[in-house]
Structure 1
Amino acid sequence: MPRYTEQWIRTSRRTPGIFIFGMVLSPCGLLLDLIATVAPNWRTINTIAGRPTDTYLEQGIWDMCQASASSQTVQCNQPDTIYFQNQIIPIAQGLMVASLIVTLIGLGTAIPGVRCWRDHPNWVVAGLGGLIIFLSGVLTIIPIAWYTKILQNITATTTSNDIRVGYCIVLGYIGGIFEVLGGIVMVVGMCRCCGGKNRGETRVVENTAHFRHTKPPPRRIEVPSISRTRSTASSVPYSQDSMAEEVDFPRAKTTSYGGRKPAYDADL
């Protein structure tokens, strides 16, 4: 009975597209999350009572700054113990820092598995790195979404009715989504689906019994043949008549002067 075995062969030695997608989005998300963590602009308080109308406060999870629309001066390290005592602030600090650390761990795990200078990437290691990157994106989205939900209810020393979302919230959302998407597509590489298209592979079926019991045909070696032309030379001397018959060019005509024959014939 013939026995058939299936093998999956990569159609190209290039890095799979899912790994390229994940390894591009993950560092971008890491950079955006870093800016959202350290920048003091999670929310902006405008129209502050007792201060000029163009003065506003930028509140983050680590610092608070006072700026003015009419001047370029920015005064940071503004004291506000009530704001930093809110429950969301220490939780956001811990989760954002943890997200950055977990993202670095995920990239360090995924890079050895994605390495494109090998014929076959390590799908399990790369997928595990993608799972870690996915978790880091979740750690970023949780405090960002929570802060956005209670944006108007966060207490502070300075009160105002004009409270707006800062750019750190936007960057945090984008960075977290980048990490979540990059991690998901890298995890997809752990399982072979869609006929191996997610890995860039194709299936090949081989008959192992045929190759086991059948001897390979003998190798045929072709030797070039050397044909020798026969020489027309002969040891038998030709007669004068035969030589005259074999001459291809016409012989010159002899002319007599005064009825006398020439002493020799002229051959041209």
Structure 2
Amino acid sequence: MSQRTPGILIFGMVLAPCGWVLDLTATVAPNWRTLHAVDGRPTDQIIQQGIFDICLATSTSTDQNCDEEDQIYFDNELIGIAQGLMVASLVVTLIGLAVAIPGVRCWKESPNWVVAGLGGILIFISGVLTIIPISWYTHILTELATAVTTTDVRVGYCIVLGYIGGIFEILGGFCLQILKLNENSTIYVVSCAYVT
């Protein structure tokens, strides 16, 4: 009797927390986009806009001041939606991990593939919840209203982290949904259905 956890489940259980950490960073860090060459401001000053905070930084120093006011930016419909979806993604990932962990534990003859699959579905959904606001924000990056005027708008590192984190969660959730259905170790992909 082998009590080792199958590699595909380990792979899913590694990808999901990694994706969660990247999504958490993307959620709280104020760098979804950066505004350069802002009218009426020093040329080396950069405005970093996130979904929860805005910071001022300079290209010649590591110092930055946060909690900047820009109600016009935060009034964009996407910002409120992104806040809700990113937080929901973080919560759903944690719930998915809590469900999947008992399914992949190796103290029994074989993992509980159905429980692991249910956790995988939740983690997959959390990845989709991350990709939606990240993609939407990227699509209208230069169209978001803000209180300042600039023609130099760039993608921030949070967008990259969010894409990677969301993809990690989608892949991790997919790996956890793979069920072993027979004794010959043939692997099939099913969506939340236990087949005998």
Moved beyond 4 Å, runs of 4+: none
Q: Percent identity?
A: 62
Q: Distance in 1 between matches of 2:186 and 2:47?
A: 52
CA RMSD of aligned residues (A): 1.6
* Amino acid across the alignment from 1:198: I
* Amino acid across the alignment from 1:24: V
Q: Distance in 1 between matches of 2:163 and 2:11?
A: 19
Select 1:51's aligned residue among 41, 46, 51: 41
- 1:120 correspondence with 2:110: yes
Shift, 1:179, TM fit = 0.4
With over 3 angstroms needed to count, the CA separation of the structure-2 counterparts of 1:128 and 1:76, relative to structure 1, is same
Select 1:18's aligned residue among 8, 31, 53: 8
Match of 2:185 in 1: 196
* Amino acid across the alignment from 1:148: T
With over 3 angstroms needed to count, the CA separation of the structure-2 counterparts of 1:67 and 1:194, relative to structure 1, is farther
CA contact (8 A) 1:33 1:96 kept: yes
Matches within 5 A, 1:71-86: 71-86=61-76
Match of 2:77 in 1: 87
- 1:175 correspondence with 2:165: yes
Match of 1:233 in 2: none
Shift, 1:198, TM fit = 3.1
* Amino acid across the alignment from 1:26: A
Matches within 5 A, 1:1-268: 12-189=2-179, 192=181, 195-198=184-187
SS of the residue corresponding to residue 177 of structure 2 reads: helix
Give the TM-score normalised by the residue count of structure 2: 0.92
With over 3 angstroms needed to count, the CA separation of the structure-2 counterparts of 1:87 and 1:19, relative to structure 1, is same
CA contact (8 A) 1:39 1:168 kept: yes
* Amino acid across the alignment from 2:110: H
Q: Distance in 1 between matches of 2:81 and 2:54?
A: 17
* Amino acid across the alignment from 1:44: T
* Amino acid across the alignment from 2:47: L
Higher relative contact order (CA 8 A, sep 6+): 2
With over 3 angstroms needed to count, the CA separation of the structure-2 counterparts of 1:197 and 1:158, relative to structure 1, is same
CA contact (8 A) 1:18 1:198 kept: no
Shift, 1:13, TM fit = 2.7
Shift, 1:193, TM fit = 7.3
SS of the residue corresponding to residue 187 of structure 2 reads: coil
Q: Distance in 1 between matches of 2:88 and 2:183?
A: 35
Q: Distance in 1 between matches of 2:3 and 2:77?
A: 51
